Structure 1
Amino acid sequence: MGTKRIPQATTKRLPLYYRFLRNYADAGVQRISSSELSEAMKIDAATIRRDFSHFGALGRKGYGYDVDSLLQFFRETLDQDEETNVALIGVGSLGNAFLKYNFQKIHNTKIVVAFDPKAPYDGEERNHIPIYPPDRLEEKILELGIEMVILTVPKRVAQELTDRLAQTGVKGILNFTPERLAVPDTIRIQSIDLSGELQTLIYLIKNDVKDSQMN
């Protein structure tokens, strides 16, 4: 993406664009307009054109967008041709779900190692993925060259583990704990508070009901 700063909202939509474009390419569609993408994705056409404009001239006026060219652009932008190895820390209910989901290898991302306090020192396999105790965290992350981690651990140990990860060269953490983690500038962090998202959804639904009762 070069040195140009891309808005965070645009960045979050990039994987969504890639997924829809891949579906169109698989269906044999050769070109598509922003209005057609808008209708399929339920995103305003002006937003799509603005998002794409951050990356230069991706389409032609009166023609729209070449699906294969656009797909290749987003594949390169999102590094889809390069497999990303991920470590999972915490193999509870949510962690187990990730281990099972891993087989799909969506977006060239693959969990190659996991860590859990109940695992034996020499490791054990689950869904063909080795699981080790946290004592071997630094050793295995360095050995496997892991740069991205999914964190699904209890809140009380989240920051301690994050501090340890910061010493290993990890570049990104997907945080599923409610803890607001402090990280150095060398690490990108995305936090997903499932309970918070659920509360927001409940609030929006209740306000939709209130609005409909007032109208």
Structure 2
Amino acid sequence: MKQEPLKIPQATSKRLPLYYRFIQNFSNAGKKRVSSQELSEAMKIDSATIRRDFSHFGALGKKGYGYEVQHLLEFFRQTLDQDEETNVALIGVGSLGTAFLKYNFHKNHNTRIVVAFDTSATEDGTMMSNIPVFEPTKLEEKIQQYGIELVILTVPSRAAQEVTDRLIKTSVKGILNFTPVRLTVPDSIRIHTIDLSVELQTLIYSIKKDEETFTLRS
């Protein structure tokens, strides 16, 4: 009988890369064992949340003993496929897109931008931060050539859905969307939207609520 895949809450899934990063820090510091409380203090996440997250994956540690750092490191490396590199395409090389190209992800992660697309590119392609940038007309051709499954989308809002409609017909399985547009895609494609203006407004609201709470307590 085929085993059903684990159903991990989305909030937990978003924290997995953070766990991996902080566990790497403990490993680099020579730490052999770590408790949920130590992770909590380092990550600023409630220890009960950490234990609940870890419980979705079975017995990763022992009560009263904690977690073996190397065991956790290997577990999250495999869970996050850290040993397998993923090629990423960037679509839209404006201010934000240029910052992504300069940073690139392979320095610290298993993902790397290998190709980009922008209307400013020349017919034969342009090199930016050692990454080839092509005209949008070559989108489908180059996505196939580079074996792209993940895309970072930083195009103007008016072009977001049009570009996405083209991506739907390719091998792309995931889109990290930095436009404020709520994109329409089939169930076969995952989308994570990061709207910077909404994130800032949420932060401002949280700050004001904290100030109100502090004033009431004073």
Match of 2:29 in 1: 27
Q: Which 5+ residue runs of structure 2 have no aligned equivalent?
A: none
1:127 to 126, 129, 134: 129
- Report the alpha carbon displacement of residue 69 of structure 1 after superposing the two structures with TM: 0.7
Distance 2:4 2:74 in 1: 17
Aligned residue in 1 for 2:191: 189
Aligned to 1:82: 84
User: In the aligned structure 2, how far is the partner of 1:207 from the partner of 1:57?
Assistant: 39
1:60 corresponds to which residue? 62
Query: Partners in 2 of 1:59 and 1:118 — Cα distance?
Result: 52
Query: 1:6 maps to which residue?
Result: 8
CA deviations 1:187-210 (Å, max 9, x no partner) are 000000000110111111122222
**Counterpart amino acid of residue 159 in structure 2:** V
TM-score (norm 2): 0.96
Q: CA deviation at 1:211?
A: 2.4
| Counterpart residue number, 2:163 | 161
After the TM superposition, which residues 38-187 of structure 1 pair with which residues of structure 2 at under 5 Å, given as runs?
A: 38-102=40-104, 105-187=107-189
Check conservation: 2:105, 2:111, Cα contact below 8 A. no
SS class of match (2:88):
strand
| DSSP-derived class of the 1:107 partner | coil
TM (norm. structure 1) is: 0.97
**Deviation digits for residues 54-82 of structure 1 (CA, Å, limit 9, x no counterpart):** 00111112221000010000000000000
1:204 to 182, 203, 206: 206
The share of aligned pairs that are identical, in percent, is: 70
How many equivalent pairs are there? 215
Distance 1:42 1:2, change over 3 A: farther
1:103 CA displacement: 6.3
